[in-house]
Amino acid sequence: MAYLFTSESVSEGHPDKIADQISDALLDNFLAFDPSSKVACETLVTTGQVVLAGEVKSKTYLDVQQIARDVINDIGYTKGAYQFSGDSCGVISLIHEQSPDINQGVDRGEKEEQGAGDQGMMFGYATNETKNYMPLALDISHKILIELAKLRREGKEITYLRPDSKSQVTIEYSDDNKPQRIDTIVVSTQHDEFDSDDDTMLKKIKEDIISILIPRVKAQLPDYVKDLFNENIQYHINPTGKFVIGGPHGDTGLTGRKIIVDTYGGKGAHGGGAFSGKDPSKVDRSAAYAARHVAKNLVAAGVASEVLVQVSYAIGVVEPTSIFVNTYGSASVDLNDGEIAKKVADIFDMRPAAIESRLKLRNPIYRETSAYGHMGKEPRTETKVYESPYSGKVSKEVEFFTWEKLDFVDKVKKAFKL
């Protein structure tokens, strides 16, 4: 029997995502000036206020207040009417030094013997239903909000948009797990006050989303996804009505509250650990990236059409405590999932230091991950410049989204004789 599956996304202006972006901007600046920095920072945003907290061990010193303000302004919170602005909000820093009790289990004499920064289990997932090996409902949800943010910044076709927004896409699948059609699209977007009454305002917003935004999103999609759009899609546009009060003035935002948006939209599984604000010694982040790298290369190599990878660690211990693979019965090789997992352990070194090195994670690459998903984006190389009133200027060429590279496909094919 056919079934429905739904994923959501939130914009860069959503309160929780503002918090994530500030936390990752702080992390990037620490790593830019001291790649060995240990960082675990959290952010809270509310009406007119930002609170920074967490633990840091670093040789550098930053103007963390200014970094937070710059992020807020970049997102688009620049007007007093929003009740939250980068130039006028208060920024309180409660960041302190990392506990030596934690650090002793992580740092070792030999880099290769670096222990895991915490216990826990992390998951990576990949599916061949999209070109970027991401679940389709989540991929479309992200694209809707990325395009909505472009429209907001352009300020031409839709002039009333404010930064806070959410999307949700429901897709009907067949018995054999193939997408058949888009059933429902939900978009809630913050907006300026209208001179007209609420009914006229809501009608205008709905017309603009359906006639301007959705065609721009469809234009980016391959034909087989375009075919899923149909005249019977249920559109819920600002279903609660007026949405003028939003952002941190409407809801308090915290780092790490959108872990499903950050990963696979509810497909696969999640170990529960957030990513943003954490340096790569924290396996919550680095091992989740490594597990995605494994899953994506397995699917791209043709081992299976859908793969979930779990890896687990004990704090301070070098080797993972387990590696698990679930192919959901989609494997194309004559091996069971346990046998596939053993081969994965042989192909991919999942020790924390090896992950950091293989994926080049001790670089300032994290602000780019902190909105519209950590997975599914195109790898790229770019030169980034960071300035500090205390440490001067540093320029670094860095590689973004290394865990999305298909650089192990040949090794996987050889190992599995594909």
Cα–Cα nearest to 73, from 163, 148, 145: 163
Structure tokens at 142: 């992200």
Indicate the angle between helix axes 337-347 and 283-301, nearest 10 degrees: 110
Question: Any known ligand binding at 83?
Answer: no
Q: How far apart, in whole angstroms, are the C-alpha atoms of residue 298 and residue 308?
A: 10
Question: Any known ligand binding at 110?
Answer: no
Question: Any known ligand binding at 282?
Answer: yes
Question: Any known ligand binding at 393?
Answer: no
Question: Any known ligand binding at 400?
Answer: no
- Let me know: does 288 contact 126? Beta carbons within 8 Å: no
Question: Any known ligand binding at 397?
Answer: no
Question: Any known ligand binding at 131?
Answer: no
Question: Any known ligand binding at 55?
Answer: yes
Q: How far apart, in whole angstroms, are the C-alpha atoms of residue 272 and residue 270?
A: 5
3-state secondary structure of 81: helix
Question: Any known ligand binding at 407?
Answer: no
Q: How far apart, in whole angstroms, are the C-alpha atoms of residue 223 and residue 102?
A: 51
Composition of the chain by helix, strand, coil, percent to 5: 35, 25, 40
Question: Any known ligand binding at 16?
Answer: yes
Question: Any known ligand binding at 165?
Answer: yes
Question: Any known ligand binding at 405?
Answer: no
Q: How far apart, in whole angstroms, are the C-alpha atoms of residue 81 and residue 252?
A: 17
Cα–Cα nearest to 151, from 70, 209, 78, 80: 209
Question: Any known ligand binding at 156?
Answer: no
Question: Any known ligand binding at 190?
Answer: no
Binding residues for Mg(2+): 16
Binding residues for L-methionine: 55, 98, 251, 282
Binding residues for K(+): 42
Binding residues for ATP: 14, 164-166, 242-243, 251, 257-258, 274, 278
Binding residues: 14, 16, 42, 55, 98, 164-166, 242-243, 251, 257-258, 274, 278, 282
